[in-house]
A and B are shown apart, each in its own frame.
Chain A
Amino acid sequence: MTTYPNMATIEAGYELPVMHKRAEEAELFLYSAASFNPHRIHYDKAYANYEGHQDIVVHGPLQGSWLTQFITDWAGPRARLLSVQWQNRASAFVGEELSFFGSVTSVDQANGSVALDIYEQKEDGSVLMPAKATVKLEQI
């Protein structure tokens, strides 16, 4: 049985397990379809180039949903995501390996929640998406 973080033992400074994502054309197409997004930069390389992108662009909201998955996979099904915020600093492109890193910055025992600092980065180390979140953890 998987164990998840809980309020009794969590401490500031704890580092979340790293999550890696890579989306190829088929995955990006499926996300366009599932999110009802017909924007051409997500499936037409020639058009993406025309708009100044080096390749097909990974959707911003897909990276947003990867971010929530990064948190909820770690926190477990009984935890509750309270808030999340992120900045899109640069574009991610098809086939790139993207990694999510995060750590607990503070623990609020009264509220039963923790604050997280998270960032998504490319293989070259550049940060695409700095983020913050709060999540209510299991009470034990």
Chain B
Amino acid sequence: MSSSLIPPESLARVGEILAGPVTVRIDRREAQRYAYAVGDLNPIYFDDAAAKAAGYRTLTIPPLFITHALVPPEPASKLRPDGLYENSTSVVLKVARMMFGGEEWDFLEPVCVEDEITGTTRLLDLDQKEGKKGPFVRLVRETTFTNQNEQVVARSRQIGIAR
């Protein structure tokens, strides 16, 4: 009863790798397109001299771009009616919809363009809670990002709320 929304086979996946490891080289133009789309025109993303004056090896990137840089290219034939890609790694739950609950990020080392970043995403936590509007599931995916020198550069925890 305490986990009526979470099938046992999904609960058994806690700790499992959901995606990756996938490695990408951070592309200057993709990072700059992202910065422009956000409206974040910080010179450390666009002007090499400004980035160096600020203590970076070369251009750095908007902090959250790292997660988008890792999105794999996929064909339109895999799009579902809601526009999202079919994803065989999603965790099966007995719920109607999944919402973004929030994110937590730790930034440990600078990330610059041309860095080779590897991301690995695990199912960190999955549990059922009782809210004002009835039971809901809290799902936490943790992604660890490392660079070409095997330093962990960032960790993100994405919290999903499903009911």
- A: residues with CB less than 8 A from B are 21, 27, 30-31, 33-41, 44, 47, 51, 60-62, 64-66, 68-69, 72-73, 77-78, 80-88, 129
3 closest residue pairs by CB, A with B: A40-B83, A77-B54, A34-B37
Q: How far apart are the CA atoms of A39 and B106 in the complex, in Å?
A: 26
* Residue total for B at the interface (Cβ-Cβ under 8 A): 40
Least CB distance, A61 to chain B, in whole angstroms: 6
Tell whether, in the assembled complex, residue A88 and residue B83 are in contact, meaning their CB atoms are under 8 Å apart: no
Identify 29 residue pairs between A and B in the complex whose beta-carbon atoms are under 8 Å apart, listed by A's number. Answer: A31-B38, A33-B33, A34-B33, A34-B34, A34-B36, A34-B37, A34-B68, A37-B68, A38-B83, A39-B82, A39-B84, A40-B81, A51-B82, A65-B38, A65-B62, A66-B40, A68-B63, A69-B39, A69-B62, A72-B42, A73-B42, A77-B43, A78-B54, A81-B107, A83-B106, A84-B63, A84-B107, A87-B102, A88-B102
Q: How far is the CA of A37 from the CA of B38 in the complex (A)?
A: 14
Given A68-B63, A83-B107: A47 and B36 interface contact (C-beta under 8 Å): no
Candidates A41, A66, A77, A82; contact of B38 at CB < 8 Å:
A66
Give the docked Cα–Cα distance between A51 and B42 (Å): 36
Instruction: Specify which chain B residues have a CB less than 8 angstroms from the CB of A41 in the assembled complex.
Output: 82-83
Q: Looking across the interface, which residue of chain A has its beta carbon closest to that of B83?
A: A40
Residues in A neighbouring B53, C-beta threshold 8 A: 77
Residue numbers in B under 8 Å from A87 (CB-CB): 101-102
Contacts of B84 in A (CB 8 A): 38-39
Picked from A21, A44, A69, the residue with its CB within 8 Å of the CB of B42 is A69
B79 at the interface (CB under 8 A from A): yes
- Chain A residues whose C-beta falls within 8 Å of the C-beta of B82 in the assembled complex: 39-41, 47, 51
CB neighbors of A among B53-80 (8 A): 53-55, 62-65, 67-68, 71, 73, 79
Residues of B within 8 A of A129 (CB): 102
- B54 — nearest CB in chain A belongs to which residue? A77
Contacts of A44 in B (CB 8 A): 83
Chain A: CB-nearest residue to B78: A38
B162 touches A (CB below 8 Å): no
Interface contact A86-B102, CB-CB below 8 Å: yes
- Asked if B104 and A85 make an inter-chain contact with CB atoms under 8 angstroms apart, the answer reads yes
In the bound assembly, the distance between CA atoms of A62 and B99 in angstroms comes to: 15
- Residues of B19-34 whose CB lies within 8 A of A: 30, 33-34
Contact yes or no, B62 A21, CB < 8 A: no
Closest chain B CB from A33 CB (angstroms): 7
Which residues of chain A have C-beta atoms less than 8 A from B54's C-beta?
77-78
Q: Is the CB of B79 within 8 A of A62?
A: no
The verdict on B114 contacting chain A, using a C-beta distance below 8 Å, is no
Which residues of chain B come closer than 8 Å to A31, judged between CB atoms?
A: 37-38
Interchain CB contact under 8 A, B71 and A36: yes
